[in-house]
Amino acid sequence: MPCRGAGMAHSYLDSIIKEVIGRINTGDVSINAIKSAIRAFEGRHIIRSSLCGGGNIIPVSCLMDAVRVEAEQSSGVERIGAVDAVFSTVADKLFKEAALSINVRGTLPAKGVVCGLLEDYGVYVCGEPDLLLFDNNGLLGVVEHKAALTFGKYSLSVKRAVVQALMYLWLFREYYAKPLEWAWAFITITRYSLAKDEKARGRVIPICVRVNDNISTLIREAYQAFKNDSVLIIDDCRLANLIYGPGSGCLNGRVVVPLNPGVVNRAANNLLFKRWDIIETKT
């Protein structure tokens, strides 16, 4: 199996998500956390303007402003309002608090920022994943947490999280003396509802990723779209190619992925792609 150590990491993240949804369902959220989230929402335009306003350092989150996954081209898909945005910020805060309070043997969580130079443009792209996971052999993968409504589809949130996690993994690939070839993108989802009788739920989605040059191309194209105030659309064919590298993509209207780690990622594939098949390919 190309990616290692998923068992302990999954247990750790599952414990975090259970802690988060437990606090949400029991109302164990401080007033200060809610007020802070409201302030962040009210000042979001100033914050984004400061972060994404130019200079030679561009956060991954700014590049994501120019990225659309295919489903976002349809109207009325997973749109959120002010209340939902505030709740999402609160859920992120709860996730980060829980991550620091839970210990699981064999997995070391950490926070960190990594940057990579886009030489053609003379700028640095920098990213700070929600969480980094290590074991005794080095980096296991990156964690991206998203909040989504309990009702309706949430695959769009997962797809965006995957694209963002892939960018982080590429930056870490460049960080090590020995390039990172395989790593996990752990997508954690907190699903919630504002209805009193509907409980929050959570899910951990591990995806074994081949950290390939297609992700580098994605980052460059996202930067071009960001600078040109345009949009970069990622369809399912390209998303598969970003996750699995050469030999994957689409064939006869279906997403095709390699046998290994295609089988390992079966649950994630079912969520990300409407139709997909496994093909034999050289890796």
Residue 71's Cβ-count burial label (10 Å; 0-12, 13-18, 19+) is middle
Angle at 231 between CA 230 and CA 237, to 5 degrees: 150
**Under a CB-based contact definition with an 8 Å cutoff, are residues 158 and 271 in contact?**
yes
Per the model's pLDDT, the better-predicted residue between 243 and 194 turns out to be 243
Question: CA of 197: how far to CAs of 23, 91, 96, 161, 176, in Å?
Answer: 15, 18, 26, 28, 48
Phi then psi for residue 21, to 5 deg, are -70, -30
From CA 52, how far away is CA 46, in angstroms rounded?
10
Mean pLDDT of the chain: 87
- Using DSSP bridges, classify how beta strands 254-258 and 249-251 pair: parallel, antiparallel or unpaired: antiparallel
Q: What is the pLDDT of residue 103?
A: 80
According to DSSP, the β-strands at 254-258 and 276-279 are parallel
SS3 114: strand
pLDDT at 81: 66
Distance of CA 9 to the CA centre of its chain: 16
Cα end-to-end span (Å), the chain:
12
Residue 77 has pLDDT above 50, yes or no: no
Q: How do residues 169-227 score in pLDDT, each as one tens digit?
A: 999 987 765 678 899 999 999 988 767 678 889 999 999 999 999 999 999 999 999 99
What would the mean pLDDT of 78-106 be, rounded to a whole number? 81
Percent of the chain whose predicted confidence (pLDDT) is above 90? 52
What are the tokens at 148?
């989504």
3-state secondary structure 201-212: EEEEEEEEEECC
Of 110, 164, 111, nearest to 134 by C-alpha is 110
pTM value is 0.90
The residue written with tokens 């089988």 in the block is 263
List 255's β-bridge partners, or say none.
Answer: 250, 276
